[in-house]
Chains A and B, each alone.
Chain A
Amino acid sequence: MALNIAVLVKASLDPNMIRTRGDDVDTDSMPLAMSEYDKNAVEAGVQLKEKHGGRVVVVSALTWGPLAKRQREYEQVIREALAMGADEAHVVVDEALVPGDPLATSKALAALLEKLGGFDLVITGEASMDMISSQLGARIAALLGVPFISYARRLELGDGVVTAVRDLEDGYSTVRAKLPAVVSVTGEANKPRIPTLIQIRRAFRKPIKKYSLADLGIEAPSKPRLEELKVIQVKRKNIIIEAENLEQAAEKLIEALEREGVLPKA
């Protein structure tokens, strides 16, 4: 069974690198990085390919602008997925998808997946690290009319069937679905590999193809307006306790907590 697997990869804003203008988050100057759990999606796809044969295709949409200055950055994200073992990449780049929203992005990606055609399995991360909407997989499955398995922490394929263990609040649910299907994986599904230098270099020879919405034959989809994006300011004292030794550090910490009135009374 030579598999045809699509992995959805997002070039996300990096929440560790917040840039601001006053209270507003300045998204335009924040760096992009591969969304943390999309690495688990790529890893899951590559592992299945290694086991069953086939190919892994990266499918992505650029959802943060300014598009003119983002090309190098998002290509770097896509190349990282290619270096991990994916074979080729297809990316929607269109002003109408910026800033991203799952309502619009899902339509663009579903259209792209349909155009490319013939996927046995589409794998996504459980949520993106910037917007954390956790909708894309479900929406794409609904648009494509195929089964969807969310929050999978284990994933196996056999005989045209995908079996997954869903990690839910109260328990683990094992489910089976006929292929083709869409699956979202959790951050615990695997340990994403870190590509070697050779793999990174080789990734430069793998093709990345770009599409506009017009190329996909769809109109600009509607989406909610992002009216405001404000940074949440937390003021902390940021006192590092300096001490000669651990005993003194412990004493100073205890004194500080007593001063703050947060220790139970002796």
Chain B
Amino acid sequence: MAARVLVAAEKPEQLQGLAGLVKALGAEGEAVALLAAGREEAEKAAYSVFKTLYYVEGGGRLQPCQLHELLEGLYAEHSPVLVVGAATKNLTDALARLSARHNLPMFTEAVSIQLSGDEVTAVRQVLGGRARARLAAKAPAAATVNPAVYAEQAQGLAAGAELAGLRAPAAVLEETGYEPKKREAVDLESAEVVVGVGRGFRRKEDLAMAEELAQLLGGVVGASRPIVADYGWLSEDRWIGISGKKIRPKVYIAIGISGAPQHMAATVDSKIIVAINKDKNAPIFQYADYGVVADLYQFLPVLIKKLRERLGK
């Protein structure tokens, strides 16, 4: 049973964007989907654009080698011209293995994919998000996408996919431990004011200044990669950048952040960008509307005080 498109997700909410992609490709009813979770989760995302939605009997967390095995089976069964995964780490890994096995080109985190005849065209952000590459190859091909890119097309999806259970293959690698990350209910992506913190902050406690500023402005605190990934001062939900969250606030206030392209690429949709940095040559000032060259430890208390006065808080 052939299907033109095979999509894969780890979570039901990712399937929504992937269903939007299937619609955008005009492949409704010609797509099948894999959800690496149990039946109950699959029922939340059984969109009718999918002929079949495969889930994993018993659910559970799958490793890339297991995802890869499942994809191999579906690839053989359906001979799709396009395989697209949600751009998660595990699926990027699994799809790259599938691509190697079948000599497929793969477009990591494509922001758009087009299928015409046997040509696949993908647009990707490269060079730390500062440039856009258009790539083309003969189908079949693989890609990953951030499902949020297709949020618009994912409006008003109807349910109706047939559900089919798959058994999880044995893992090649032995998992000897798993520690979940802490989550907070912060929604950086739709915040109207974001205060970004970077390595200019010397101690975790000092982030309280940024939190106070954010609260005054009704905003939330986000961070550069080192603050989250290296120091673990803030949770993953607050990570801004090409490997984190993309923001689109009215105002982004970046404090003690140097302005690496991988960070700034995720802030381009901000209406106004303010940079506070003590180094007047910091690249961030090129990306900012308003810059203040100052030591954040001296400037933030003053800014907070003045804002309080202005806002009558």
Contact = CB atoms under 8 A, between A and B. Distances in A.
B122 to A, nearest CB: 8
Interface stretch (A74-82, A85-93, A136-144): A136-144
Nearest to B216: A264
Nearest to B244: A169
Given A135-B96, A229-B131, A188 B229 contact: yes
Interface in A11-40: 13, 15-16, 18, 25
Contact of B292 (A168, A253, A262): A253
Given A163-B176, A237-B289, A262-B251, A232 B132 contact: yes
Interface string A113-134: 0000000000000000111111
Nearest to A142: B100
Contacts of B287: 234, 236
B262 A15 contact: yes
A42 to B, nearest CB: 18
Given A187-B229, A264-B311, A171 B104 contact: no
Interface in A225-252: 225-232, 234, 236-241, 246-247, 249-251
A148 B173 CA distance: 9
B173 A177 contact: yes
A224 B136 contact: yes
B136 A250 contact: no
Contacts of B299: 246, 249-250
A135 B92 contact: yes
A94 interface: no
Given A246-B299, A249-B299, A236 B134 contact: no
A202 B180 CA distance: 45
A241 B292 contact: yes
B251 A148 contact: no
A187 B130 contact: no
B89 A147 contact: no
Interface stretch (B18-26, B202-210, B269-277): B269-277
B313 to A, nearest CB: 8
B88 interface: yes
Interface in B118-171: 121, 125-137, 141
A168 B173 contact: no
B175 to A, nearest CB: 5
B172 interface: yes
A237 B172 contact: no
Interface stretch (B1-9, B41-49, B301-309): B301-309
B184 interface: no
A138 B291 contact: no
A236 B288 contact: yes
B116 interface: no
A33 to B, nearest CB: 12
Contacts of B272: 257, 260, 262
A232 B290 contact: no
Interface residues of A, number: 77
A176 B180 contact: no
A139 B126 contact: no
Contact of A238 (B141, B225, B285): B285
Interface string B248-278: 0011000000001110010010011110000
B303 A250 contact: yes
Contacts of A130: 126-128
A222 B99 CA distance: 13
B176 A15 contact: no
Nearest to A143: B100
A149 B106 contact: no
Contact of B106 (A103, A246, A256): A103
A133 B89 contact: no
A239 B273 CA distance: 11
A101 interface: yes
Given A240-B285, A254-B307, A101 B175 contact: no
B229 A237 contact: no
A236 B286 contact: yes
A133 B106 contact: yes
Contact of A231 (B131, B218, B230): B131
Nearest to B61: A173
Given A224-B137, A240-B293, A16 B261 contact: yes
Nearest 5 pairs between A and B by C-beta? Answer: A15-B128, A138-B96, A142-B100, A174-B177, A224-B137
Interface of A: 13, 15-16, 18, 25, 101-103, 106, 129-135, 137-143, 147-151, 163, 166-177, 186-188, 222-232, 234, 236-241, 246-247, 249-251, 253-254, 256-257, 260-264, 266
30 contacts: A15-B129, A16-B128, A16-B283, A103-B103, A106-B100, A135-B99, A141-B97, A147-B172, A147-B173, A168-B90, A172-B177, A174-B175, A175-B63, A223-B137, A224-B141, A226-B133, A227-B135, A231-B130, A236-B273, A238-B286, A240-B290, A240-B291, A246-B294, A246-B299, A249-B294, A250-B299, A250-B303, A250-B306, A260-B289, A262-B251
Interface of B: 61, 63-65, 88-90, 92-94, 96-97, 99-101, 103-109, 121, 125-137, 141, 172-181, 183, 193, 217-218, 225, 229-230, 236, 242, 250-251, 260-262, 265, 268, 271-274, 280, 283, 285-294, 298-299, 302-303, 305-307, 310-312
